[in-house]
Amino acid sequence: MKPSFLAQTDTAPPTPSASSGTLEEKIRSRRAKTAVVGLGYVGLPLLTEFARCGFTAVGIDLDPQKVAAIEAGSSYIPDVPSETILELRKANRLRATSDFRVLAEVDTVNICVPTPLRKSKDPDLSYIMAAVDQIANHLHAGMLIVLESTTYPGTTEELVLPRLEETGLTVGQDFFLCFSPERVDPGNPHFNTHNIPKVVGGMTAACTHHGSLFYQQAMEKVVPVSSTKVAEMVKLLENTFRSINIGLANEMALLCDRMKIDVWEVIETAATKPFGFMPFHPGPGLGGHCIPVDPFYLSWKAKMAGVEARFIELAGQVNSAMPQFVVHKIQAALNHQAKPIKNSRIHVLGVAYKKDVSDVRESPALDVLALLHRLEAKLTYSDPHVPQVMLDGLAMESQPVLPSCAEADCVVLVTDHSAFDYASIAEQSALIIDTRNAFREYRREKIIRL
């Protein structure tokens, strides 16, 4: 049963205005011109979906390389085929620019910019506010603005709305403001921008109506909620749920390691229970932009409200300590062979933050490499999706998996890419530390799992 506050996505907005009537007609007829600010893993797939369903779509990004790639009909995001970009470019339904003046011509704009944490673990909303400032400079009646960047509850109402209303226009009448959390899972072959349910919360009922109607044109399912704060909290709950449960799995891995118990067998067996249990798995740490970052947005907001978010903080501590645990496993395994880490040849398999993607943001592999570098190991890595990484200011280039694994004193699997030939790696490596249970079929003494 749906919560009672969920409205139907196709109901008429309360107290219609001339602006709302014109915008609704443009959305329904797909004559609305739409813009997306920020063309990364979230923005480019979103822009593509709007263009595919018939809207004229323009992407805005300050990175000239991204703009040039799209204008040339090329994609830099694995989930968006270059053929799709090229087809939409030829149909004149998609383009890209770094010029924010195009906002004066559009009817809708989605903000999909980064929301990192500062070193002090508090939110950095500078990218959002820079985008909002540009939108405010070109805000006009009948415009729909949707913030998709992950942030803390209250951002849309407390920061975005006041800046837009400085123009003299009124939300819910002259323009419409919503928050709709991005739920992209890069590399997922089953769920993408089109078929992941889209949550939408507006500043007013009219805002929610227009936002829902807009997404309904391109997405399979739209889930309207009662406010922007609810929509903002939904995303944080989703990723905090994962962070805490992964933290529990990692803590179980530490405990099982000390007690000489196979944590993978424990989890697999517990998962046979048909109710009351959902399997999460340990690993070398959390990566990507969302799961390592979003819980701290919620934790920071909780502190502002006078609440101590102990589960969130503890999970963060456990997860952030996992790269050090991996290095400890490497050190113990080499010591068992009478080898110190210093000057040992250690080859890392996978530096992307997750399987089959090229994104290295917050990747635990970078932490593992940095820790090993400080211990003066001789390091190499292989990653079919990441040709180069920076380590302490030095560029490292991906090496062929073989013979690199055969020549190493220790191979460390951090990211379990599908492209790796695990049978050959298991056969030719002298010692393997497996942080992902990818070598579960090759149970040998030289393969050590978390």
CA nearest to 152, candidates 301, 295, 292, 42: 301
* Averaged pLDDT, 329-344: 96
* Averaged pLDDT, 426-443: 94
When pLDDT is cut at 50, 70 and 90, the band that residue 11 belongs to is very low
Residue 219: per-residue pLDDT: 97
Residue 367: per-residue pLDDT: 96
What are the backbone dihedrals phi and psi of residue 290, each rounded to the nearest 5 degrees, phi first? Answer: -90, -65
For 89-104, write each residue's pLDDT tens digit: 999 999 999 999 999 9
CB-based contacts of 344: which residues, under 8 Å, 6+ apart?
A: 334, 377, 378, 409, 410
The span from the CA of 214 to the CA of 235, in Å, is 20
Q: At the top level of CATH, which class does the domain 18-226 belong to?
A: alpha beta
Range 167-173 contact pairs with CB under 8 angstroms and sequence separation of 24 or more = 167/136, 167/139, 169/139, 169/140, 169/141, 171/203, 171/204, 171/207, 172/202, 172/203, 172/204, 172/205, 172/206, 172/207, 173/15, 173/17, 173/19, 173/20, 173/206
Residue 10: per-residue pLDDT: 42
The strands making up 222-225's β-sheet, listed across from edge to edge, are 94-97, 56-60, 33-37, 108-111, 143-147, 175-179, 198-202, 222-225
**Cβ–Cβ under 8 Å, residues 152 and 300:** yes
Domain spanning 321-450 has what CATH number?
Answer: 3.40.50.720
Q: Do domains 18-226 and 321-450 have the same CATH topology?
A: yes
What are the distances in angstroms from CA 368 to CA 40, 254, 362, 371? 26, 17, 11, 5
Q: Which sign does the torsion angle of CA 17, 19, 22, 27 carry?
A: negative
Burial of 399 (0-12, 13-18, 19+ CB in 10 A): middle
Kindly write down the DSSP assignment for every residue of 324-387, as one continuous string: HHHHHHHHHHHHHTT--STT-EEEEE--SSSTT----TT-HHHHHHHHHHHTT-EEEEE-TT-S
* Averaged pLDDT, 62-78: 96
For 96-149, write each residue's pLDDT tens digit: 999 999 999 999 999 999 998 887 778 899 999 999 999 999 999 999 999 999
Pick from 83-87, 284-288, 337-341: least confident: 284-288
Would you please indicate which residues are annotated as catalytic (active-site) residues?
290
* Averaged pLDDT, 191-217: 97
- Give CATH superfamily name and number for 248-320: NAD(P)-binding Rossmann-like Domain (3.40.50.720)
User: Where exactly are the structural domains of the chain?
Assistant: 18-226, 248-320, 321-450
When pLDDT is cut at 50, 70 and 90, the band that residue 172 belongs to is very high
Amino acid at 236: L
And the tokens for 330? Answer: 């490497």
State the DSSP code for 32.
-
Amino acid at 238: E
What are the distances in angstroms from CA 41 to CA 51, 69, 83, 106, 235? 16, 14, 17, 22, 16
> 8-28: string of b/e by CB count within 10 Å (b at 16+)?
ebeeebeeebebbeebbebbe
The span from the CA of 382 to the CA of 363, in Å, is 14
5-14, 51-60, 441-450: which has the highest mean pLDDT? 51-60
Percentage of the chain modeled with pLDDT above 70: 96
pLDDT of 5 strictly over 90:
no
Torsion, Cα of 325, 327, 330, 336 (10° steps): -80
Arithmetic mean of pLDDT over the chain? 93
The span from the CA of 374 to the CA of 342, in Å, is 9
State the DSSP code for 31.
-
**Cβ–Cβ under 8 Å, residues 148 and 115:** no
Residue 16: per-residue pLDDT: 59
Residue 328: per-residue pLDDT: 97
When pLDDT is cut at 50, 70 and 90, the band that residue 302 belongs to is confident
**Cβ–Cβ under 8 Å, residues 107 and 135:** no
**Cβ–Cβ under 8 Å, residues 375 and 439:** no
